[in-house]
Structure 1
Amino acid sequence: MCGRFALTSTPKDVAALFDIMDVEDFPPRFNISPTQPILMIAAGPRQPSGSNLPERQALLVRWGLLPAWAKDPKDMPLLINARSETAAQKAAFRAAMRHRRTLVPASGFYEWRREGKGRAQPYWLRPKSGGLIAFAGLMETWMEPGGSEIGTGAILTTEASDDLAAIHSRMPVVIPPEHFSRWLDCVRSEPRDVADLLRSAEPGFFEAIPVSDRVNSVANLGPEIQERAEPAQDRPAESAAEQLQLF
């Protein structure tokens, strides 16, 4: 699964990879956590033939999807992830899978490996080749009782690749650039038409770097949380590790 991730590439890099005209300036983010705003790339409004308007748009949404039919967020679990195998059938994700598929720019993600009762070792998982990648995402607009609309989203997960399964059984779905358009096209492609994209990354795509438990605290936001640290023998599990077991 994915309970923390990072986006440290520049807005210019994001605009170039996703072929969008403008991305508002943002600082590097080394420890993105649930309920915080995250960047999503969605298909733009349908344009008339010959229009120069962008076909994709960058949006900020709350990480934690709220279905449109939800009455009160307090009555809903924090839906930061959606299982790709069942999202098209689940009431919370079914409409978004059909109509609002997105891409989530990321530099990598964090995962915790259980090392016995009460112990967890965090890892920073990044592409071996470096650079920017895209997680498969879902977006839903939720309307507050007062009438304000809130964009919300979740990251799709799948079974971990063989080389990462020892750390955690789940991982985010990574959409390759050559399939961006097909994934985002919710007009001509139904969920069954893009089901082949919902697979784990090839073994060796990510490298797993053990890091210190500084990443466990949402207050730690600097690049030092990605520095390699030798796995501790007796590391107590922190709340972040416990949180990841919700999904």
Structure 2
Amino acid sequence: MCGRYTITVSLEELLLHYWISDSNAPYQQPKYNVAPGQMVLAVIHDGEKNRLGELKWGLVPSWAETTKLAAKMINARSETVWEKPAFRKLMERKRCVIPADGFYEWRQEEGRKQPMRIVRRDRKLFSMAGLYDTWVSPDGIKLSTCTVLTTAPNALMEPIHNRMPVILRPEDEATWLDRSERDSAALNRLLRPFPSELLEAYPVGAQVGSVAKDDESCIAPLASNG
């Protein structure tokens, strides 16, 4: 699964990476411990251009009666996404990417769980594949939400966890965002484990387990935390 991640790059870096000329996204400071239920930065394509904005992490399908599903829908399994009513139509027309520069997972070690941060070896920004939808409450309030797609682990992730987020290859980002692309076979080809040789993992302190903790100490290698 993917339940925590980081996004510490500047707004300018985000706009440059996704070819966005301007944005009203309220991105003011790095986030070292993004958690479900929070507002997260996401990129969609509106049919003409990429747009950067905020979505609430935890999908509430447009047809849901309440928002209670959100906590159970922070992730969607890519292998079955076409089979689930909550995701099938979104795969056709409401795909997004969630920018990140690292994500956390907990590795089981001798009866305890050791938090690990997984990053690109070159420390560059990457895009997690996501889906989004807009739910409207009975009194007309709109809530736009998202979920992160997951896939089988690569060789690096196997000792840590049995799932990992779908990290899109840079050359596949435009295809994923393209609303006119609805071929399931073509889209499924993008939902592969990211090459393990391009990633690395390192242990971090237990403080990342608290959503209240959000500072540079969250990403510091464990040996440097003492």
Structure 1 runs (4+) deviating above 4 angstroms are: none
Within a 5 Å distance, the mapping from 1:87-236 to structure 2 comes to 87-117=81-111, 119-229=112-222
Distance 1:115 1:204 in 2: 23
Note the alpha carbon deviations across 1:93-139, whole angstroms, 9 max, x for none.
1121111011111011000012244x211001111111211000100
| Superposition deviation, residue 190 in structure 1 | 3.0
> 2:61 — aligned with what?
67
| Superposition deviation, residue 205 in structure 1 | 1.7
Q: Structure 1: which amino acid aligns with 2:4?
A: R
Within a 5 Å distance, the mapping from 1:2-21 to structure 2 comes to 2-21=2-21
Distance 2:28 2:80 in 1: 34
**Aligned-partner SS, 1:14:** helix
Note the alpha carbon deviations across 1:61-81, whole angstroms, 9 max, x for none.
100001111101236652110
Please, what TM-score do these two structures have when normalized by structure 2? 0.93
Higher gyration radius (CA): 1
Q: Is the 8 A contact 1:88 1:98 kept in 2?
A: no
Distance 2:113 2:181 in 1: 44
Q: Is the 8 A contact 2:207 2:213 kept in 1?
A: yes
**Aligned-partner SS, 1:85:** helix
CA 1:188–1:201 in structure 2 vs 1: closer, same or farther (change >3 Å)?
closer
**Aligned-partner SS, 1:155:** strand
> 1:242 — aligned with what?
none
> 1:36 — aligned with what?
38
**Aligned-partner SS, 1:194:** helix
CA 1:147–1:190 in structure 2 vs 1: closer, same or farther (change >3 Å)?
farther
> 1:26 — aligned with what?
28
